């Protein structure tokens, strides 16, 4: 698994190690305070093979192995939103580390939307399945590093950004500078809200390191995954909003592109797991879990 570490720039600045999950293009993060060796895990993937309907935790275990080798104590397990392209590993990680799991409070609204789409009216209870539902402006701490929550809707109605010193985990808003931005056509998504979220992130200090949720190389001449660039880099050079692109122009570009995209191949499995904090549906009488697929809804 390809990984890279972005060093701390001083007190209050986290060391950030990203791990690229090749099967889904997702980037998983370890946010660490060099002084105290406390850490948070951000958007860690539960492996899922859609061809065989088989879930496992090999990738999440590799992240835990890295943390053990680095002497890191896990303080938080954080997700930015209920992902559509991969299953979350949050509940599994909590069982192994004892750390609490958190996500944005508007996951309640997302759960209500998907309970209707799956026709599973009593399946999802975020207050039960997450230890903390975070509101815009709330704060957490990892060692001596404060983390502020920013509501960043558009990709989903409840996506949040974690701002930790001079680092921000911006999930499915920006892609890497040369790839642009992420889609806004899922249920509850909005290209207008996504643009506003992008602009709010670009209002952070120029030197803030932005860590994105996905990369799908090759891109242009680049063959390796990339996930880090500064606010100044994105403001000047981002392929979709760099140089002051207007909201109307962005919406036209984003909506036109989104109309050509298929659903992620893990989406209909992922949402009914992720809205349970990464737990599979309860086992039935035969001891096995089963997923429900809504036909002809998309």
Q: pLDDT tens digits, residue range 265-277?
A: 999 999 999 999 9
User: Which domain CATH number covers 243?
Assistant: 3.60.15.10
Residue 292 pLDDT class (50, 70, 90 cuts): very high
Domain that holds residue 143: 3-261
pLDDT in tens, 14-31: 999 999 999 999 999 999
Domain assignment present for residue 291? The answer is no
For residue 290, pLDDT over 90 is answered with: yes
Mean pLDDT over 186-196 rounds to 96
pLDDT in tens, 240-254: 999 999 999 999 999
Q: What is the residue whose two structure tokens read 């309907």?
A: 53
Domain assignment present for residue 281? The answer is no
- Compute the mean pLDDT over every residue in the chain, rounded to the nearest whole number: 97
Q: Which residues of 119-141 are buried (b: 16+ CB within 10 A; e: fewer)?
A: ebeebbebeebbeebbeeebebe
pLDDT in tens, 119-169: 999 999 999 999 999 999 999 999 999 999 999 999 999 999 999 999 999
Mean pLDDT over 175-203 rounds to 97
At 298 the pLDDT is 87
At 5 the pLDDT is 98
For residue 233, pLDDT over 90 is answered with: yes
Domain assignment present for residue 59? The answer is yes
pLDDT in tens, 65-82: 999 999 999 999 999 999
Domain assignment present for residue 273? The answer is no
- Asked if 213 and 26 touch (Cβ cutoff 8 Å), the reply is yes
Domain assignment present for residue 292? The answer is no
Domain assignment present for residue 203? The answer is yes
Mean pLDDT over 270-293 rounds to 97
For residue 103, pLDDT over 90 is answered with: yes
Mean pLDDT over 257-285 rounds to 96
Count of domains forming the chain: 1
pLDDT in tens, 34-56: 999 999 999 999 999 999 999 99
At 249 the pLDDT is 98
At 144 the pLDDT is 96
Domain assignment present for residue 278? The answer is no
Domain assignment present for residue 267? The answer is no
Residue 87 pLDDT class (50, 70, 90 cuts): very high
């Amino acid at each position: 698994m390809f990984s890279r570490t972005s060093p701390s720039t001083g007190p209050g600045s986290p060391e950030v190690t990203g791990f690229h999950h090749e099967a889904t293009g997702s980037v998983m993060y370890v946010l660490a305070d060099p002084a105290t060796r406390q850490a948070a895990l951000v958007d860690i993937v539960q492996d899922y093979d859609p061809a065989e309907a088989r879930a496992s935790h090999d990738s999440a275990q590799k992240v835990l192995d890295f943390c053990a080798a680095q002497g890191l104590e896990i303080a938080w397990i954080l997700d930015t939103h209920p992902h559509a392209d991969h299953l979350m590993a949050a509940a599994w990680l909590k069982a192994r580390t004892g750390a609490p799991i958190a996500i944005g409070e508007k996951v309640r609204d997302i759960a209500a939307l998907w309970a209707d789409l799956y026709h599973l009216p009593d399946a999802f209870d975020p207050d039960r399945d997450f230890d903390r539902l975070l509101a815009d402006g709330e704060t957490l701490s990892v060692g001596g590093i404060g983390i502020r929550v920013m509501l960043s809707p558009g990709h989903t109605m409840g996506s949040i950004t974690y701002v930790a010193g001079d680092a921000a985990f911006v999930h499915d808003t920006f892609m890497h500078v040369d790839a642009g931005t992420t889609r806004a056509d899922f249920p509850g998504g909005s290209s207008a809200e996504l643009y506003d979220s992008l602009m709010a992130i670009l209002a952070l200090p120029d030197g803030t390191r932005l860590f994105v949720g996905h990369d799908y190389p090759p891109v242009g001449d680049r063959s390796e995954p990339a996930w880090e660039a500064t606010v100044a880099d994105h403001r000047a050079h981002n392929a979709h909003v760099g140089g002051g692109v207007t909201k109307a122009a962005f919406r036209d570009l984003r909506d036109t592109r989104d109309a050509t995209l298929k659903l992620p191949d893990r989406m209909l499995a992922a949402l009914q797991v992720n809205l349970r904090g990464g737990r599979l549906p309860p086992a039935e009488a035969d001891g096995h879990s089963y997923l429900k697929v809504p036909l002809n809804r998309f």
